[in-house]
Amino acid sequence: MKVIVLGAGVVGVTAAWYLAKEGHEVTVVDRQPAAALETSFANAGQISPGFSAPWAEPALPLKVLRWMSGRHAPITIRPRLDLAMLRWIGQLLANCNAHDYGINKARMLRVAQYSRDCLDTLRQDTGITYDDEQRGLIQLFRTQAQLDGASRDMALLEQAGIAHELLDRDGIARHEPGLAAKRHLFSGGLRLPGDESGDCHMFTQRLAQKAEAELGVTFHYETVVEALDAAATEILGVRTSQGRLTADAYVVSMGSYSPLLLRPLGLALPVYPTKGYSLTLPVINAMHAPLSTVNDTSHKVAITRLGGRIRIGGTAELTGYNLRLSRDRRALLELSFSELFGGSGDLSQATYWTGLRPSTPDGTPVIGPSGRFSNLWLNTGHGTLGWTMACGSGRILADRMSNRPTEIPSLDLSLDRYARG
C-alpha cells in the first residue's frame, strides 16, 4: 500500500520504518524542519518496560489532594475551562481502582517488554547508536512506606516475567557508586536490570535517515497537517500547508495533537497532553554521576546518563497545550538532582525544555484501526512511555496493517476498548 504517517516523532518514525520493511510505500509528514523536535526531543531518556505503570492507581486521588498544597508537587493541575481535560480527568479517576490498575499495568508491561525486544533486534540489525546503555534502572525509595508499597508492583512484574531485585542501601551504591555518599537519603530501591537508556532524539533522527536512505521512506518536513478529508467510511486525503496528499492508508501519530485532528471527523480519542520538563547538562565529575537511570520516587523525577550528559526529566502538569517554561518545575528537577547527584553535572549550563506527553486515562497507547474509517489507523497516546513503547507499537501497527498476526495480543490496544468500557 501507499501509506501516509502523520507525525515524525519517535512513534511515527518507528511506525514508518516497520511499514517500509513490510514493503509499503511510506510518506511521513511533520510540521517541524526535522524528526523528533517536539515531545521526542528531550524526554527522560529511559526505556523502561519494568517501570511501565498507569498513573491511575487506587492511591492517586488522595496523593493529588496532598500534592496540591505543596510547591514541589510532582503532578499539578492548572484549573481551566476545558471540557476535554475534565472528561479526561473523569476517565482517569474511573480507572483508579485495584481491578483496573492490574489490567492496565499488565497490558502496558506486555507492550513495553515486547517493544524493548523489538528495539534490541533493530539495534542489532542496523548498528544504530544513540548514547545507549543497557545497564538497568533503579527505582529509588526515600521512605520505608514506599519500599513496603513496592510489593504490589513486584507481584505484577513477577507475573509478567520481568527480572527485578529489591536492593538495600549498599546494593544501590554497588550499582550506582555516585549514590554511595547519599545512603541516608533513601531506604532501598527496586532494580530492573532489563531496562535501558538512550537519547530518543538522536535515535529518531538516525532511524529517519536510515528509513529514507535504505527503505525509500519520503519525509515532508515543514508541512503542517491541516485536516483529513473523509467520505462516509474512508479517508480521501490529507490537507496540508504544502497541498493535498493522498494514499491508500493513513496513520495518525501526532501525539497530543491527534485528538484535535480527529475531532472534526466525529472520533473521540481520549488523549490529553500532560506537560513534562527536563534539564540536560554536561557531566563535570564522572565519579559522582549516574551510570544509568535512577527514578526518584518521591519527586517523580528520572535522572539518566546520556554519554557525556545528564538528563533530568519528570513532573506532570495538566495545563492544556501551554508550552511556557515554569520556574517552579525547574526548581523541582534541580532539587532532586542536587540531593542525589549534586556536583556531578553543571547546572549553570543546563538546557531547560518542556514537551506535551499524549496520555490516555488508562495509561495504554491506542494502536490499531480507527473503527469508523476503513483506511485510518491510530498510533498515539503513549504518555510518558513513547520512547519505551515506540518500536513495539510500530511493529504491531505494521503487522495489523499488513494483515499479519501480531506477535503479542493487540486487539485490546485499539480505540474501541473505550466503547467496550
Question: How far apart (Å, rounded) are the C-alpha atoms in residues 144 and 147?
Answer: 5
Q: Is 392 exposed, middle or buried (0-12, 13-18, 19+ CB in 10 A)?
A: buried
Nearest to 28 by CA among 270, 264, 231, 204: 204
Q: Is 167 annotated as a binding residue?
A: no
Q: Is 7 annotated as a binding residue?
A: yes
* 3-class DSSP state of 144: helix
Question: How far apart (Å, rounded) are the C-alpha atoms in residues 52 and 365?
Answer: 12
Q: Is 252 annotated as a binding residue?
A: no
Q: Is 230 annotated as a binding residue?
A: no
Q: Is beta strand 2-6 parallel, antiparallel or unpaired with respect to 25-29?
A: parallel
Q: How far is CA 181 from the centre of its chain?
A: 32
Q: Is 9 annotated as a binding residue?
A: yes
Nearest to 260 by CA among 139, 358, 121: 358
Q: Is 10 annotated as a binding residue?
A: yes
Question: How far apart (Å, rounded) are the C-alpha atoms in residues 361 and 150?
Answer: 22
Q: Is 28 annotated as a binding residue?
A: no
Contact in structure between 261 and 228 (CB atoms under 8 Å):
yes
Kindly report the number of other CB atoms within 10 A of residue 281's CB atom.
20
Q: Is 34 annotated as a binding residue?
A: no
Q: Is 29 annotated as a binding residue?
A: no
Q: Is 13 annotated as a binding residue?
A: yes
Kindly report the number of other CB atoms within 10 A of residue 88's CB atom.
21
Q: Is 225 annotated as a binding residue?
A: no
Question: How far apart (Å, rounded) are the C-alpha atoms in residues 332 and 314?
Answer: 9
Q: Is 5 annotated as a binding residue?
A: yes
Q: Is 283 annotated as a binding residue?
A: no
Q: Is 64 annotated as a binding residue?
A: no
Question: Binding site membership: which residues?
Answer: 3-17
Annotated binding site for FAD: 3-17
